[in-house]
Structure 1
Amino acid sequence: MLRIENLVCHSDGKSLLDIEGLHVKGGETLAVLGPNGAGKSTLLRAISGDCGYDGEVLVHGRSRRNWRSNYLARHLGVLPQSSVLTFPFLAHEVVSLGAIPLKLSQRGMREEIRRVMKLCDCDHLSERLFPSLSGGEKQRVQLARVLLQLSQAEESPLLLLDEPTSAQDLGHQHLMLRLTNQLAREGYGVISILHDLNHTLHYCKRCIVLENGRVRYQGRPDDVLAPEHIGEIWNYRPTFGWLQDDRLVLA
């Protein structure tokens, strides 16, 4: 679904990202990890085309530069860390913005809006003014907007999530991550920037660790998140334990 080749990003003469190769398959959940300033958000911006880069970003084997914008919008969606929207839209009106690249009847759009808002547990917020919502509620409404945008993809869509649990309470953190796994089972490719390593262990099939814009480690979370690796990257040596269902946890 996604293949990156020799991806390089610069700003003011400084190298922000230098990735020789990376791929994501449909049905896969990839976590992007690393300390602050490692290049995680820059990677998502390069994939989405929000920053300039050298090298290639190929979506379904075609350079993203060669995709028509409205067609790419139905196949690649981004949930940023935060978004500024002060105009008094109702929550369902914000979600409806995701229908711009789609061909839906009014009835079809209403049904899809209800469906994606229910998936994101924000259907009860439909008639609330968006600026009045909490940070976590806004984040779930924006995710519903992105899912609406991808709802008519003709090929497996790619979903980019920049810290999707950052504003969520404990229950909604797990809801969001269970939802990403559900989408992966439906064929989505999902790339998530995460800071909680336990979330990576429990919900992601594969992860990469960035340091100074380069991939330091990649592979299965159980292998990548070894104590010595965590100590090298984050200057913190975790302890390990096991839950009753034989899941590894870090503390």
Structure 2
Amino acid sequence: MSLLAVNKLQVTVADKTLLRDINLSLNAGSITAVIGPNGAGKTTLLKAISGDIPCRGDIKFAGQPIYHWEAAARARKLAILSQHNSLEFAFTGTEVVSLARGPHSTGTRIDSQICIDAMSAMDVLHLAGRLYTTLSGGEQQRLQLARVLAQIWRAEDAGERLLLLDEPVTSLDMGHQHQLMRAVRDFAATGVAVLMTVHDMTLAAAYCDHLLVLKQGECVASGSAQSVLTESLLAEVFATEVTVITHPKTGKPVVIGQ
């Protein structure tokens, strides 16, 4: 049984259909990337699954309708990183990450160690004592991901876990983009199902198990990177010519713009 199952999902706002008949399933330990042009409905999909916007259709998490989970229980199982995470208070890095442990009652000692482990995974432990408002955009982004990882860090706290990430590599340099994706890959391997939106298709191909392609609110392709990232499909979806080659070391697709 899939950890997350979405069937015939539809989102309509002010008589405009933003998503139509979206179906997807996620298994524990897997990463699915949602790709598509601006306005295709990628962020809307994550918001619908997390309950931030109303929708129609069937969304089941661990075999139950996701909205039937009591709020605190759901917060122990589902964590989401939005595109924009504004925080104007002068919290330290540690304080930002520790906010994630609110839904749990695991105690100060365990929570502190989880925050340290999550910050280490995102290579931001050196920012523990720094004020969040003094950090660069990339440093803030990595701290925010450490926060959402800390929220669902341990399976023994809540069982099944789902991680939703909306453009997590935004504002990161190339090195930290790969570091973040490796951290997400390692985290998924602990039994977490991950759904993320990604603009960089080569990065998605390198680290994700499954790709879902959206165009104008509809799914136009779904499958492995090798089956989805074809020159003809990408030209149709993004209205531009691309070249797709095979990476000489990994064998994964590499998308090159003209």
Pairing partner for 1:169 from 169, 173, 190: 173
Q: Given the two structures, how large is their TM-score scaled by the length of structure 1?
A: 0.96
1:138 maps to 2:140: yes
Residue in structure 2 matched with residue 148 of structure 1 by the alignment: 150
- Mapping for residues 60-75 of structure 1, pairs under 5 Å: 60-75=62-77
Residue in structure 1 matched with residue 80 of structure 2 by the alignment: 78
Residue in structure 2 matched with residue 95 of structure 1 by the alignment: 97
Summarize the Cα distance change of 1:20–1:115 in structure 2 as closer, same or farther, 3 Å threshold. closer
Aligned-pair CA distance for 1:246: 4.7
Residue in structure 1 matched with residue 255 of structure 2 by the alignment: 250
Contact kept, 8 Å, 1:74 with 1:151, in 2: the verdict is no
Residue in structure 2 matched with residue 16 of structure 1 by the alignment: 18
Aligned-pair CA distance for 1:222: 0.7
**Higher mean displacement: 72-81 or 14-23:** 14-23
**Higher mean displacement: 115-124 or 144-153:** 144-153
**Higher mean displacement: 151-160 or 107-116:** 151-160
Aligned-pair CA distance for 1:94: 0.8
Contact kept, 8 Å, 1:94 with 1:141, in 2: the verdict is yes
**Higher mean displacement: 14-23 or 94-103:** 14-23
Contact kept, 8 Å, 1:89 with 1:129, in 2: the verdict is yes
Pairing partner for 2:46 from 44, 47, 58: 44
Summarize the Cα distance change of 1:109–1:166 in structure 2 as closer, same or farther, 3 Å threshold. same
Residue in structure 1 matched with residue 244 of structure 2 by the alignment: 240
Matched residues, number: 251
Pairing partner for 1:189 from 190, 193, 202: 193
Contact kept, 8 Å, 1:2 with 1:60, in 2: the verdict is yes
Residue in structure 1 matched with residue 123 of structure 2 by the alignment: 121
1:203 maps to 2:172: no
Aligned-pair CA distance for 1:104: 2.1
**Higher mean displacement: 148-157 or 69-78:** 148-157
Q: Provide the C-alpha distance between the structure 1 equivalents of 2:152 and 2:205, rounded to a whole number of angstroms.
A: 27
Contact kept, 8 Å, 1:56 with 1:63, in 2: the verdict is yes
Contact kept, 8 Å, 1:17 with 1:213, in 2: the verdict is yes
Residue in structure 2 matched with residue 220 of structure 1 by the alignment: 224
Q: Provide the C-alpha distance between the structure 2 equivalents of 1:165 and 1:249, rounded to a whole number of angstroms.
A: 18
Contact kept, 8 Å, 1:31 with 1:194, in 2: the verdict is yes
Summarize the Cα distance change of 1:240–1:4 in structure 2 as closer, same or farther, 3 Å threshold. closer
Aligned-pair CA distance for 1:244: 3.2
RMSD of aligned alpha carbons: 1.2
**What whole-Å deviation, never above 9, does each CA across 1:212-249 have from its counterpart, x for those lacking one?**
11111101111111000000001122123343315332
Q: Provide the C-alpha distance between the structure 2 equivalents of 1:20 and 1:243, rounded to a whole number of angstroms.
A: 31
Q: Given the two structures, how large is their TM-score scaled by the length of structure 2?
A: 0.94
**What whole-Å deviation, never above 9, does each CA across 1:137-166 have from its counterpart, x for those lacking one?**
111111111111102443231100101111
SS in 2 for 1:159: strand
SS in 2 for 1:4: strand
Structure 1 residue runs of 5 or longer lacking an equivalent are: none
- Determine what percentage of the aligned residue pairs are the same residue: 37
Aligned-pair CA distance for 1:79: 0.7
Amino acid paired to 2:85 = S
Structure 2 residue runs of 5 or longer lacking an equivalent are: none
1:230 maps to 2:247: no
